[in-house]
Copies of this chain bind each other. A is one copy, B any other.
Amino acid sequence: MKKEKIYIEPFADMGYAKIDLHRAKRKGFPEVVFCQGKTKKQILAIAAKICKANDVVMLTRVNTEVGRALRKKFPKGRYSAEARIFYTGRLRKKTGLISILTGGTADIPVAEEAAITAEVMGSKVQRIYDVGVAGVHRLLAFREIIEKSRVLIVVAGMDGVLPSVAGGLFSKPIIAVPTSVGYGLNLQGITPLLTMLNSCAPGIAVVNVDNGFGAGYIASTINQL
């Protein structure tokens, strides 16, 4: 997959898609394909186009059917069904450290989307799952190893309380991710989102509900400053 690129067109026009070939130049990482709402045929064509112009290509919200098709086309690529991510190409050397915490077990798929995104973008990741505040001693037990990381991603559904408590304990920037995990008035994640936005603890910023990719992306950007 070596390439002697001298000049890249700013975008490739495929009619139904205009692939942004200057994304890596501007943003430091190539365009990531959000697969939801695209047909399998479109996804495969777009992936091929990006692949030609970049070292690495990543696709998110990849369902298992599309995942299988991608692995067939890009045999060296890897697919995580849990994170719904497919990626292929030359990975960067991992630096820094991001800690990813979840309030519960059901938040793990969103956490994994964040984790793999950050890893593909070149960050080291440590996973500390199911440390919600119903038993706050679980979080405290990991205090020391969390303090070693440069950025925290805190994923929580239900009441979304974990980032507030983490924000009271740790000095590093926290990216909070509300999930749609819960029932009753979880409101598809609006409840933990509101909790996180209104946190009394400083040093927290929030991404969209279930947006593990967004959290992994910005956390990795911060980690690599």
A→B interface (CB under 8 Å): 10-11, 15-18, 20, 22-23, 26-29, 31-32, 34, 36-38, 42, 61, 103-106, 108, 129-138, 141, 150-151, 158-161, 164-165, 167-175, 181-187, 189-211, 213-215, 217-218, 221-222, 225
Q: Among B133, B136, B203, B208, which residue has its beta carbon within 8 angstroms of that of A197?
A: B208
- A208: B residues at CB distance < 8 A: 183-185, 197-198
Q: Are B198 and A137 in contact (CB under 8 A)?
A: no
Best-buried of A108, A198, A203 by chain B (most CB within 10 Å): A198
Q: Are A199 and B26 in contact (CB under 8 A)?
A: no
Q: Are B195 and A26 in contact (CB under 8 A)?
A: no
Q: Are B168 and A159 in contact (CB under 8 A)?
A: no
Q: Among B11, B184, B197, B213, which residue has its beta carbon within 8 angstroms of that of A137?
A: B11
CA distance A97 to B67 in the complex (A): 41
Nearest neighbor of A165 in chain B, beta-carbon distance: B133
Tell me whether A200 and B161 are in contact in the complex, defined as CB-CB below 8 angstroms, given that A18-B131, A42-B105, A194-B185 are known contacts. Answer: yes
Q: Are B160 and A32 in contact (CB under 8 A)?
A: no
Q: Are B141 and A10 in contact (CB under 8 A)?
A: yes
Q: Are A32 and B202 in contact (CB under 8 A)?
A: yes
- Cβ contacts A to B, 28 pairs, < 8 Å: A11-B141, A15-B129, A17-B130, A18-B135, A23-B135, A26-B169, A31-B134, A36-B106, A37-B105, A37-B181, A38-B105, A38-B106, A133-B161, A133-B201, A135-B168, A136-B165, A159-B198, A161-B161, A161-B164, A161-B195, A173-B222, A184-B189, A184-B198, A185-B208, A202-B213, A202-B217, A205-B206, A225-B225
